[in-house]
Amino acid sequence: MGDAWERLRTHARDDLLTQQSLSAVLATATLIVVLVVWYAWSTRALKALWRIPLRVLVTGTRGKSSTVRLIHSALLAGGIPSIAKMTGTASRELDTQGREHTTNRVGQVSILEVLETVHRNMKRGGPEPKAVVLECMAVTPDLIEFVSRRIVRPDVVVITNALWDHLEEEGTSLGDIAISLSLSLPGARLLVTSEHRVGTLAILRYEAALQVVDVDAVSGRDLPAGVLAGAPHAHPDNIAMAIAVAGYAGVGPATALAGIATASEEPLPVVAAACVIDGITWTYRDIGSVNDTDSLTPALEGAKAQMPDGAVVLGMLVTRWDRPLRAVQFAASVTPEDVDGLIIVGEPDILVRHVARRSGWTDDRITRVSVWGFGQPPIFRRLADLATRIAGERPRDIGIIAMENNHQYVADLVREKFYGADVL
Amino acid sequence: MNALFEDPALFRLLLVLSVGVAFAVYTRLHLVGGGSVTGGYVAILVVTGQWSTLLGSALVTLLTLIIVRGFVLRFFGLPRSWQFTIAVFVGAVTTAVLAAIVPAWISLGEPLGLAITFGAFVIPGLVSYDVSHQGFPQTMLALGLVSGATLAICVPVFLLLQGLPAGSTDDVPFIQRIPTDLMPFAVIAVIVIGAVLRFSLNLRSGGFIGALFIVEFFSPEAFLAVGAAALATQVIMSLIEWRVVLSWRQRAMVALMLGALVAWAGLYWASAFGWLPAMEANLYTLSPLLATGLMAADMGRKGSDVLRTFLGTGLAALILAVLLWFTTTLGLAAGIGTLLVVSLGLIPGILALRAPRRAAERSGKMRLVELGRLTSPGSRSDGDPPPA
């Protein structure tokens, strides 16, 4: 033992000022600097966030971003200075004066954006926010809980609905999806939802009861037609939820509605665009923001109604390799009764084609445009060939309805032809 | 190795610093450049002048990307964890093939070589996964920023430290236990074993290298020492997380840095105390630090914990040791055959992939049921009975 101590002392004395010891000190300093800087930065944002008296976290499957905009406008109309953040493809921030700011992203979507929003707002000036409305960007259950518990600590949670989406993360049954979304509830006082399915709503109510959270289940169907006329572009359910949240904040329905009527819309293309290529008139409509097959029917019917009479309508499944279950869902859901032909872009295209065949598609009505595009004819010539095969002659009008996802390399190339490169 | 950078401590500093820079890049820009250690790996290759390895890694990354995106992902709708593992596996196999064709390409073995070899095999998969996930320019930007900033800080620091004595060294011989020519097989095997444990038994194996290092060191003491260091890291991480809000990725990076520092300090003081296994382990420049850090990171991951990580790493090391013994005794063909047998353990994990896919198809068909086109989500659109 004495030898060991002596050895220890010798080591310590010999290594007091060496490359080894200083390297270790610098490495330790690196970790300390990283932690201290991050702690200071994040704590400042968190404290500022938690000082805001009303914190609303909006999660769910469909309509999150629109609902955030409506709630923000309703609260502003009620004299409550509010900030808001929408995430997803069209990531935007709204300040206390109702101005919209684009979130410039270099990298991936991250839950850290919430803290960045708070920091940016602190720099913007204007009245001190009394409410914050945040769209929950987390989809994995653990992360939803983390965002709610550790970051936002919401007073009000809005679960717009629980539909078939994000199956990879949230589960493969509506019950599982509802439970995953309910992980946003701990600590909240009120849950506002417009979930219509009785079974799923019961699960949400049960989870809320476990967390001692009041539930306000609303429906756009209950709103009078005159109310809906004030905001014709907003979904009735979203209006109902915004009125409910505003009511919690002490803003009356009439004032809230006046605000809702002024709310901005999502910067996504909502009308069809057309162009002429090689003598064919192409009409394009993007419903890629509809990511669940529950909501597909009205969106698809609406898009088809915008196609010219007699056009060969091609459905473009914009599949993503990291959302394979969504790809399977859409391939199973879209049939030849919906569109005349199918374009597959992205991966897993071979699996998608297999599922599409099981949904009644034949190979002559399907084409795939690969990511690489090596050795392939130009995209629009290939699509025209497909339409010709389907129609039996070269058509004068071809319609494309892009669905499932907004963005993918090939889909973006097609879309750019109609909207230019700067449209989301 | 460049004479300017002979001291292993400098490489340890570079590793920790590179993860710190990766943390900053991720936090500020939300960008990752192929996992947490790739920037450090590139920086080490640059300071040691291993340009052929760097070029080879870039080539393998490109090939891996083409194979995974161009073929594998077209057929299979896989969860991200599977896609990640497949990318790493394809990258490792491609590296092995390239190493067989051009033997001088990477320096296998040596104290620093174990980590560099491991990096050469694993990092192409990590980078190609991030390229798929976040885009080529973004991944290259992150990689460039991390490795560039690491070099910009480390090179002047290294030069400043040159005037100082290197520090005490332990007079023990370095013994490489996994034969150099078996290293590619060992790395591929540990990836397969890690996948079997993860997907069929839900166990983590210390970021693959944990098991490899334990087998290389070949002693239960190494396993216990690395495990104890990882556990200590996990305890400290719990205390940090009590006060500091960290996203999952930030947490993994901090755990990696902290684990590396705990291992570094632990090895130093245990060596100073005269513990022979620590002295021997201390000869490995980066492997014990990476093994500890990655084990600690695994302990805090979603769906994982201390026990699962301990069990997974221990089992992975045991299976790998048996496999390598088999291979050295009976030859490489027997080893590959045994590895194929081990890979059958993936079957439960593969079978488990079917249920979500079927559920997704059924949920898609619910729309057709609601529209009256189908009577049930199990029936085909053309009216055929549901498939068996």
DSSP A165-230: --HHHH-SSHHHHHHHHHTT-TT-SEEEE----HHHHHHHHHHHHHTT-EEEE--GGGS-HHHHHT
**Residues in B touching A372 (Cβ below 8 Å):** 70
From A277-281, B65-69, B108-112, B323-327, the region with the lowest mean pLDDT: B108-112
Segment B289-303 mean pLDDT: 86
Q: What pLDDT is attached to residue A424?
A: 52
| Chain B CB contacts of A18 below 8 Å | 164-168
Q: How many Cα atoms are found within 13 Å in the side-chain-facing hemisphere of A24?
A: 18
- The pLDDT value recorded for residue B382 is 47
Given B161, B181, B199, which residue is the final one in a domain?
A: B161
Strands (DSSP E) found in A10-155:
54-59, 82-86, 92-94, 100-102, 131-135
Interface contact A358, partner B, CB < 8 A:
yes
| B204 and B323 inside one domain | yes
Q: What's the angle, vertex CA B231, arms to CA B230 and CA B236, rounded to 5?
A: 95
* A192 backbone dihedrals φ, ψ, rounded to 5°: -110, 130
Q: Per-residue b/e over B114-139, b at no fewer than 16 CB within 10 Å?
A: bbbbbbbbbbbbbbbbbbbbbeeebb
pLDDT digit string, tens, across residues A103-149: 887 788 888 889 999 999 888 878 999 999 999 988 899 999 999 99
A13 interaction partners in chain B (CB closer than 8 Å): none
**Is the CB of A229 inside 8 Å of chain B's CB atoms?**
no
Topology classification of domain A273-419: Protein-Tyrosine Phosphatase; Chain A (3.90.190)
Contact A416/B at CB under 8 A: no
**pLDDT at B225 (0 to 100):** 82
Kindly state whether residues B279 and B230 are assigned to the same domain. Answer: yes
Q: Which residue has the higher pLDDT, B50 or A300?
A: A300
Per domain, the residue ranges of chain A are 48-261, 273-419
CB–CB of B7 and A19 under 8 A?
yes
B221-236 burial, b for 16+ CB within 10 Å, e for fewer?
A: bbbebbbebbbbbbeb
Using the Cβ of B71 and the Cβ atoms of chain A, whether some distance falls under 8 Å is answered with: no
Same-domain check for residues B253 and B150: no
Residues facing B96 on adjacent strands: none
Tens of pLDDT, residues B309-361: 989 998 999 999 999 999 999 999 999 999 999 999 999 999 999 999 999 99
Q: Which of residues 301-330 of B touch A (CB under 8 A)?
A: 302
What's the CA gap between A279 and B35, in Å, rounded?
A: 49
Across the interface, do A168 and B17 touch by the CB < 8 Å criterion? Answer: no
Q: Is residue B365 part of a domain?
A: no
Chain A residues 98-157 with CB within 8 Å of chain B:
105-113, 140, 142-143, 150-151
Tell me how far apart the alpha carbons of residues A97 and A82 are, in angstroms, rounded to a whole number: 8
Both B184 and B266 in one domain: the answer is yes
| Residue A191 CB-density burial (10 A; 0-12 exposed, 13-18 middle, 19+ buried) | buried
- B178 and B124 inside one domain: no
Interchain CB contact of B296 with A (< 8 Å): no
CB nearest A106 (choices: B75, B138, B268): B138
Residues of A in contact with B270 (CB under 8 A): none
**C-alpha span between B333 and B331 (Å, rounded):** 6
Q: Which of B367, B371, B373 to mutate to test the interface with A (most CBs of A within 10 A)?
A: B367
Residue A145 is predicted with a pLDDT of 95
With bands split at pLDDT 50, 70 and 90, how would you rate the model's confidence at B388?
very low
Cβ-nearest to B244 among A22, A35, A329: A35
Q: What percent of chain B has pLDDT over 70?
A: 90
Interface residue A362 vs chain B (CB under 8 A):
no
Q: What pLDDT, on a 0 to 100 scale, did the predictor assign at position B247?
A: 92
Structure tokens at A7: 């050895």
pLDDT of A214: 97
Q: Is B363 within the bounds of a domain?
A: no
CA gyration radius, chain B: 22
Question: pLDDT tens across B271-294, in order?
Answer: 888 888 788 778 788 888 888 898
A393-397, B85-89, B383-387: least confident range: B383-387
Determine, for residues B360 and A39 on separate chains, whether the beta-carbon distance falls below 8 Å. Answer: no
A69's enclosing H/E stretch is helix A64-77
Task: Looking at chain B, list the stretches that DSSP marks H as alpha helix, in order from N- to C-terminal side.
Answer: 8-29, 38-47, 51-67, 73-75, 80-101, 111-134, 136-161, 183-201, 209-217, 220-243, 248-272, 276-282, 287-299, 306-330, 332-343, 347-352, 354-370
Of A112, A322, A335, the CB nearest to B247: A112
Answer yes or no: are the C-beta atoms of B167 and A14 closer than 8 Å: yes
Q: Do A107 and B7 touch (CB under 8 A)?
A: no
Q: How many Å lie between the alpha carbon of A22 and the closest alpha carbon of chain B? A: 8
Tell me the shortest Cα–Cα distance from B86 to chain A, in angstroms.
13
- Whether B282 maps to a domain, the answer reads yes
Query: For residue B204, which amino acid is it?
Result: R
pLDDT surpassing 60 at residue B380: no
Sheet bearing A366-369, strands edge to edge: A273-277, A280-286, A397-403, A312-318, A341-345, A366-369
Q: Check whether residue B109 and residue B77 sit in a common domain.
A: yes
Instruction: Determine the residue of chain A that is closest to B385 in CA distance.
Output: A358
Residues 325-364 on B with a CB inside 8 Å of A are 355-357, 359-364
Give me the pLDDT at residue A376, please. Answer: 60
Mean pLDDT over residues B126-132, rounded?
Answer: 93
Q: 3-class SS at A316?
A: strand
The answer to whether A130 and A206 are in contact (CB under 8 A) is no
* B183, B138: one domain: no
Do B264 and A371 make contact, defined as CB atoms within 8 angstroms? no
CATH architecture, domain defined by A48-261 = 3-Layer(aba) Sandwich (3.40)
B383: pLDDT strictly greater than 50: no
Q: How confident is the model over B188-199, as a mean pLDDT?
A: 94
Q: Helix, strand or coil for residue A109?
A: coil
Contact A14 B168 (CB under 8 A): yes
B234 and B197 share a domain?
yes
Q: Which residues of chain A have pLDDT under 50?
A: none
- Which residue, among B256, B363, B374, would best test binding to A if mutated, counting the most A CBs under 10 Å from its CB? B363
Structure-block tokens of residue B386: 């549901």
Single residue among B161, B192, B221 that ends a domain in this structure: B161
pLDDT of residue A242: 97
Question: Are both A48-261 and A273-419 of the same fold?
Answer: no
DSSP, collapsed to helix, strand or coil, labels residue B354 as helix
Residue entry with tokens 């496999």: B323
Strands (E), A222-375: 273-277, 280-286, 312-318, 341-345, 366-369
Task: Inspect the interface and report whether the beta carbons of B20 and A297 lie closer than 8 Å.
Answer: no
Q: Do A24 and B265 touch (CB under 8 A)?
A: yes
| Average pLDDT score over residue span B95-108 | 74
B130 vs B69: CA distance, rounded Å = 12
Q: Based on the structure, what is the number of domains in chain B?
A: 2
Domain that holds residue B71: 7-161
Q: Is residue B370 part of a domain?
A: no
Q: Do A112 and B27 touch (CB under 8 A)?
A: yes
**Nearest chain B alpha carbon to A46:** B245
Q: For residue A420, what pLDDT is reported?
A: 72
Interval B227-235 mean pLDDT: 91
Give pLDDT, residue A152: 96
Among candidate residues A4, A310, A259, the one with its CA nearest the CA of residue B278? A4
Last residue of a domain, one of B161, B190, B205: B161
B69, B245, B373: best mutation site toward chain A, by most A Cβ within 10 Å? B245
pLDDT for B342 = 95
What is the interface pTM, i.e. ipTM, of the complex? 0.88
Nearest CA in chain B to A351: B75
Q: Which residues of B touch A412 (CB under 8 A)?
A: none
B chain contacts of residue A358, beta-carbon cutoff 8 Å: 361, 380-381, 387
**Do B24 and B99 have their domain in common?**
yes
A331 contact B CB<8A:
yes
CA distances, B145 to each of A223, B21, B31, B133, B140 (Å): 54, 8, 10, 18, 8
